[in-house]
Amino acid sequence: VVKAFEMEIIPAERTVAQIGGTLILTCNTTGCASPSFSWRTQMDSPLGGKVSNHRTHSTLTMNPVSIVHSHSYLCTVICDEREKKEKSVKVELYSFPSDPIIEISPSLVAGEPATVTCKIPDVYPSDHLEVFLKKDEDVLHEKYFFDDDSTNTETKIVTYTFHPKAEDIGKEIACVARLPLPDMDFEPKERTSSHKLNANFGPQNTVITASPGHSPMEGDSLNLTCVTQSNPPAQIVWSKYLAEESIQHLIKNNVLSIPRVHFSDSGLYICEVINLVTNKTEKATVDIIIQGAPVITELSIEPSTTVQEGENVSIQCSAESNPPPKIILRRKSDNTNMGPYSARSILLPSVMFQNGGDYECIAENKFGNTKSEITLNVKYGPKNTMITVIPTAALKEGETVTMKCTSSGNPAPVISWKKKKATGESEKISKNATLTIQNLKSQDLGFYECEAYNQFGKEEKAVELYVQARLEEPDQMIPLIIAFSSVIAVAVPAAAILIYVSRQAKINGSYSLVKALRLKV
């Protein structure tokens, strides 16, 4: 059975090709031993491809496909030079080779205009192109190229300006390009590219939190935390206002921590946040007031805690607390008539030795009180030197006489005894405060001097043992040993003091211990 001569073209009648790709048209025959093939366009334009003839088929290869291949191609087959058949195929072109390219400012600043650019490369035909700019699912902008009359592939560009917000961080800007060509079967007809937003903003809404609060107790811990909204994260600097509008810079950290606060930590703290990208700065402040019982910061004596009598002395007391303290500075001794002083200072012009002693400073407020003491040591020379003679009753020859010398001074005076000779010179006889004469004899009579001494001066006191008189009547014989003392400063002048005895007695100057009756001082 002989088959009839037939031909076909593959693909048949109509095909879609992408510009830049490869297209092969095949012309097949059956029922012909030696077919002859030829290819042409209906408009007799150049083929723009390569023809390959084989025994029963012929191919036309276009690589790469370009805009010039938008034709109807005709394949003609002649069988044994007698019979001819023709068939054609229409080649329709498109170009949609890649996803859109999104370009957006690398450093977006919230609130400031930003431009997003979407490029759709080598698209054809562009009069069917649709482009959508989206933020997440919200359409920001759309564009249709219905009026475009491009005759070749072109990169189409869509630009849009918007104002990013802080809440846009992390959202996606998407460019959706569609090429819905009717009756053209190709994929994909939609391409999408996206870019995650990273808008720089701030600092803004800067606040300071204080833990445990703005008025902690003295000795508590304090944490000040500076919180701000900023992208990229802001640089944080802590500082504190000082006197005369000067500023003390502290740390570069979002948390300022003070383990144990003191009253000196009270003040206005500043948190300054700086965004180095947006070049913006914001400040927040917090006023910290440290509360607590008073702390005495100074208790001093000027010019020194040890002074010499006659110097001018100032006693000062200072304390700090919140609320402010009531300060009482006073002398502790109950034996003085000095106060209390309800003041922060005591002035003692030409200080006296009686002013010496312990002084106390008391500071108090509603949270409690505190107390501190200081001692004023007043140096002075010997004073109030006194001699005591024991016994005070009548003495007999052979008995013991004790004379005790006392004196006040700071430092404590050194006490010594001297006895005046008949020549008028004085002889040191003891370095003790107490002088004891045992087995009293007539040669023990005379002047005795007590000397009290320190580096600030000396004071002397004298006592005299002597016979007073004797009455003429035998039964009225009154031989007496008289002790007489007098205070002298630095030197003791010799003084003869006569004590008269009444009752019409005659003084004869004689001395006896035989019938001593009593001792008169």
**List of residues 6+ apart from 329 with CB closer than 8 A:** 315, 317, 341, 343, 344, 345, 346, 359, 360, 361, 362
pLDDT of residue 95: 95
Residue type, 20: G
CA 197 to chain centre: 37
Percent of the residues in the chain that have a pLDDT greater than 70, as a whole number? 86
What's the average model confidence in pLDDT over 185-189?
Answer: 90
pLDDT of residue 521: 26
Ordered domains of the chain (ranges, CATH): 6-94 (2.60.40.10), 101-199 (2.60.40.10), 205-288 (2.60.40.10), 293-379 (2.60.40.10), 381-465 (2.60.40.10)
Q: How confident is the model at residue 1 (pLDDT cuts 50, 70, 90)?
A: low
Q: Is the pLDDT of residue 485 over 60?
A: no
Task: With beta carbons less than 8 A apart as the criterion, state whether 162 and 116 touch.
Answer: yes
- Residue where the block lists tokens 């009548």: 394
Higher pLDDT, 470 or 205: 205
**Burial (Cβ within 10 Å: 0-12, 13-18, ≥19) of residue 380:** buried
The β-bridge relationship of strands 326-331 and 357-365 is antiparallel
| HEC sequence for 69-135 | HCCEEEEEEEECCCEEEEEEEEEEEEECCCCCEEEECCCEECCCCEEEEEEEEEEECHHHCEEEEEE
**List of residues 6+ apart from 42 with CB closer than 8 A:** 71, 72, 73, 74, 88
Question: What confidence tens digit (pLDDT) does each residue in 486-513 have?
Answer: 444 332 322 222 222 222 222 233 223 3
Q: Is the pLDDT of residue 37 over 90?
A: yes
Task: With beta carbons less than 8 A apart as the criterion, state whether 316 and 297 touch.
Answer: no
Q: How confident is the model at residue 134 (pLDDT cuts 50, 70, 90)?
A: very high
What's the average model confidence in pLDDT over 432-449?
Answer: 89
What's the average model confidence in pLDDT over 313-334?
Answer: 89
| HEC sequence for 342-405 | CCCEEEECCCCHHHCEEEEEEEEECCEEEEEEEEEEEEEEEEEEEEEEECCCCCCCCCCEEEEE
Question: What confidence tens digit (pLDDT) does each residue in 245-268 have?
Answer: 677 888 888 999 999 999 989 999
Residue type, 263: F
Task: With beta carbons less than 8 A apart as the criterion, state whether 401 and 436 touch.
Answer: yes
Q: Please tell me the distance from the alpha carbon of residue 369 to that of residue 474, in angstroms, as a whole number.
A: 80
The DSSP output letter for 187 is S
Q: Is the pLDDT of residue 472 over 70?
A: no
pLDDT of residue 467: 56
- Residue where the block lists tokens 């500076």: 226
Q: Is the pLDDT of residue 34 over 70?
A: yes
Q: Is the pLDDT of residue 183 over 90?
A: no
Q: Is the pLDDT of residue 64 over 90?
A: yes
| 439: region left, alpha or beta (phi > 0 left; psi from -120 to 50 alpha) | left
The long-range contacts involving 369-374, CB below 8 angstroms and separated by at least 24 positions, are 369/293, 369/294, 370/293, 370/294, 370/295, 370/296, 370/319, 371/296, 372/296, 372/299, 372/317, 373/299, 373/332, 374/299, 374/300, 374/301, 374/305, 374/315
Establish how many alpha carbons lie within 13 A of residue 21's alpha carbon, considering only the half-sphere containing its beta carbon: 15
CA angle 73, 74, 76 (to 5 degrees): 150
What's the average model confidence in pLDDT over 406-433?
Answer: 90
The β-bridge relationship of strands 255-258 and 222-231 is antiparallel
Higher pLDDT, 11 or 466: 11
Residue type, 142: E
**List of residues 6+ apart from 464 with CB closer than 8 A:** 446, 447, 448, 482, 483, 484, 485, 497
Backbone angles phi, psi at 127, to 5 degrees: -70, -5
Q: Is the pLDDT of residue 392 over 50?
A: yes
Task: With beta carbons less than 8 A apart as the criterion, state whether 125 and 150 touch.
Answer: yes
Q: Please tell me the distance from the alpha carbon of residue 104 to that of residue 119, in angstroms, as a whole number.
A: 11
Percent of the residues in the chain that have a pLDDT greater than 90, as a whole number? 62
pLDDT of residue 109: 85
Q: Which of 300-304, 406-410, 429-433, 503-507 has the lowest mean pLDDT?
A: 503-507
- CB atoms inside a 10 Å sphere around CB 224: 20
Q: Is the pLDDT of residue 365 over 50?
A: yes
SS3 167: helix
